[in-house]
Structure 1
Amino acid sequence: MDHLKLSPLTMPTTVRPGAGVRPNATADTQGTGGGFSGALKSALNSVSSAQNEATRLQQEVQMENPKVSLEETMVAIQKAQIGFTATLHVRNRMVQAYTDIMNMQV
């Protein structure tokens, strides 16, 4: 099975390892968007904007806009699909981790 590997240059800044690391733990609790929740929110926003852009380009192609190419639209659709699939895998892993933790005996 082939796995998609994102290099640090293609990953959003908030998802890169070591990016946005804050030594002050109170900054995360003040809603500044740091830490895991901020990275997750940023990733979800990125996937959402990719899906919105793909939808917009698809509508432009359907209306026969000469400024929008079919190739550009297909690439945007594939990017959105890959992002959604990755998000789905992350969600499934998080649910599995939660289930494992809840089933632990103390």
Structure 2
Amino acid sequence: MQIDPMQSVLAQMRSLTAQAAARPADAVGGNAAAALGATAATQQADFAATLKSALDDVSGQLQQANALQQQFVSGTSDVSLSDVMLASQKASLSFQAVLQVRNKLVSAYQDIMNIQA
């Protein structure tokens, strides 16, 4: 049983920050515009992969919480109420975080569209 799910979330955020800080620059010489374009394409792919991975993790947490709830309701003896509540709260926090990221992305997109207009 995980006592503090926020510690897990914080540890994941710290590891992602460390990975982002450790990533070397991709421009090694040659045509600067081509290197910049390749870097932008790599960053776009990395962002898309990171976003998909985060969404998959949240989806998995939601499914796990639902499964634990079903097991608890059906009377499975190895599932305690505290396990169900922790899984539900962890899934809820993860979903709220993804929702906030989505809101920020939509806001940034609208700001960019307003600049171009």
> Shorter-chain-normalised TM-score: which range?
0.7 to 0.9
Q: Sequence identity of aligned pairs in percent? A: 39
Alignment TM-score, normalising by the size of structure 1: 0.75
Give the unaligned 5+ runs of structure 1: none
| Bigger proportion of residues as helix | 2
Separation in structure 2 between the aligned mates of residue 44 and residue 12 of structure 1, nearest angstrom: 18
What corresponds to 2:13 in structure 1? 11
CA displacement at 1:42 relative to structure 2: 0.9
C-alpha separation in 2, matches of 1:11 and 1:62: 33
Residue type of the partner of 2:49? G
Do the aligned residues in 2 keep the contact of 1:50 with 1:79 (CA within 8 Å)? yes
Measured against aligned partners, the alpha-carbon deviations of 1:68-96 in whole angstroms (never above 9, x if no partner) come to: 11100100000000000001000000000
TM-score by length of 2: 0.69
How many angstroms apart in 1 are the aligned matches of 2:14 and 2:89? 18
* Structure 1 CA distance for aligned equivalents of residues 64 and 84 of structure 2: 9
Which has the bigger relative contact order, CA under 8 A and spacing at least 6?
Answer: 2
Match of 1:28 in 2: 42
Structure 1 stretch displaced more, 69-78 or 35-44 = 35-44
Indicate how the Cα distance of structure 1 residues 43 and 79 shifts in structure 2: closer, same or farther if over 3 A, else same: same
Q: Which residue of 1 aligns with 2:35?
A: none
Q: Which runs of 5+ in 2 are unaligned?
A: 1-5, 27-37
Which entry has the higher C-alpha Rg, 1 or 2? 2
- Give RMSD over aligned pairs: 2.9
